[in-house]
Structure 1
Amino acid sequence: MSERFYSSNEEQRNSPQIKLHQPLPTAILAFFFTPLLGALMISSNWKKLNKPESASKTMLIFYAYLVVLVGSYFAPPISILPIIIVLLLIGFWFNVHHQSKYIKEHDISYTPKSIGKPIMCGLAIIITSYSITIYTKWDFLKAEFSKITEAFVQIQRQQQQKNFTKDDLGKLKQTLSSDIEQLYSENTDGTSTANFELIKNPKNIGEKMTNVMRTRYKEIIDLEKDYDQDLNKIGFSSLMDPKRIQNPGSIKETEMLIDLAIKSATKYKRLNLESYDRVIDGITKLSNGLTDETRQKGDTNRKTISEGCDLEITLIKKMGEIVMHLHQTSGNWELQEDTPVFNNDSDLKEHNLLWSQFEKISVKQDQLNELMEKRMKED
């Protein structure tokens, strides 16, 4: 018996030491590079320690984690997934502890393997995993990033609001009041004299608010200018020219002018409302929300803008009715001093009625414009 014992010890001393992954560094690598890498390393150790059952149990952690990982790419994000991953990681660490204890209890001497290759494999796993995650969860990640960005911006706004003093508010009101006066100032030809410059690198809410409003003022001027240019381009000023109306076949030209003018006015309305919505959105963001009073004023002003634009379209249509009436009665009137003079009272009465309706609409539009100007100066 002593000979056999001596022979066994002699063989152990003479046999080359096995190479194993050190349990503790492996556990650390598993934390940074997922239990996939750690399970492969610990399972490899169990096999070299001639413990196939333990190796198989370790690989169960590998396959379980792999299933969870692959499932997470295609399943909707759920809060339980991180919990499952943590539990698998804890299970893996228990396995590492068991192996470390086994090696110590059996006084197994081994040569530690280099961690260079496992680290390279771990990096490959992480890069592949994150690449697939980004590809499959791009919309979700984008939405989450937007939430984080919005939260950060919200914090900045709140901080800026705290730094926004009464003096800043007074300065803002004074600046906007001056801008509005400039907005409604006109040259002798009716064009605006305003020239609004944005503040470069605005430092506080007041300056940012000024830029929001000045952008709106610039857009008001540009929209009106573009609208006038559109009407000039189609020759709308010739619509009510009696000489043009008397030309043979001019009725088709009239229909075309009315149609194009209505399209231009409709486009002007759409762009004007979009511009107004942008300024309200900008004010809302800078103010961290609107009060009920401010929101109500905004809705009222938007409605007024919409009504004014609708009246412009109605005016164009009414002008079309006047001109079409002149076309229909072309043989019953003649031009005297650039004014049509009708041969019978019924045609004259209809003509005057249409003009009266046109003037009422025009007066209402002027009243709305004056009301809007008054509100802007008061607000």
Structure 2
Amino acid sequence: MSSSESSEQKQYFSTELLSWYRRHKRDLPWRRSRNPYHIWVSEIMLQQTRVDTVIPYFNRFMDKFPTVAALAEAPEDEVLKAWEGLGYYSRARNLQSAVREVQERYGGVVPDTKEEVASLKGVGPYTTGAILSIAYNKPEPAVDGNVMRVLSRYFLIEDDIMKGSTRVSMEKLAQELIPEGAAGDFNQGLMELGALVCTPKSPSCLTCPVMAHCAGRAAGMEESLPVKTKAKPPRPERRYAVVIEGAAEHAGRVLIRQRPAEGLLARLWELPHAAVPTAPAAAEARGEGGDPAAAHAALAAHLAGDGLGLGPVGWLMQAEHTFSHIRWEMDVYTGRLEEASALLLPVPLPPHYRWVNREEMEQYAFPNVFLRILNAYFGR
């Protein structure tokens, strides 16, 4: 392709995409203002999460934390509870940490320079570009997976989008395409095209505003692009979990505990659970009804580390949860704590354990898998 043809292809793309976006853009709550805090929160929520899922979370989050100051001053437990169900909780922690920095260093005003925004915790190149272009209309690219897919197809780019060098070249290309004075709308148009038209599978080419000059479609490669190295599938990990039912003054409640301050799902609340031993007898295929004897042995040994004894267990359900690198496959049981002695003295709980009923659950933030289990248990 000659330089003049390349220039024409780029000009056509920018003009037609911008026009299409302004006619067809979705009415999303974070698009109703140029408030950089709103845009920032929405972009963090949208990472690896569908728009339809994010909308109610965003609205509730803004009701609860309407300003930088409100989020900066909120207890972390409240923030995590508002985030409950969105997953990837480090996003919420990083967001609050960065918001506190904005409150302290910039008087609660989200900065408008690339260097300052990019220095905030949890804010990578894409989010930096999104905030600067959408909130401040600065000609900065915002390149995510949707954008790389669109550019790969339209310009017939066969480089692996999982490589850092490809992202850098895509950012350079995207910046060249931004029309003067329309950075925010153009970048949102790119995202919108990838989300609604130039989708990963079965792209809707006939309704695409830039189909006429799409090199990928002309080459019959619209469905094979972009080139993307497959990530390793999550490693399966079997676990036993137990809903420990309260007795006497704790009747109607179940026992939960808080995870450590660091690591996976840090400081969230969960049910006691333990990895399935690797002995051949415990490695059989999962089946309805489980293996109560093996589960009791593993869970009792696990709880003994916290000074708690576990009585007999009974089957409840199976549950699964997939993280980016592992997949928990859980056999879930019910059970009760053993009393401290024959006098039936109450068992003192370690400080990171709590007894809760269904209503009291609202005070604690749980990962999705434990929410599903608890809701199933209380809904029986």
Which has a greater percent of helix? 1
Larger radius of gyration: 1
Length-normalised TM-score, structure 2: 0.21
Which structure ranks higher in relative contact order (CA pairs < 8 Å, sequence separation ≥ 6)?
2
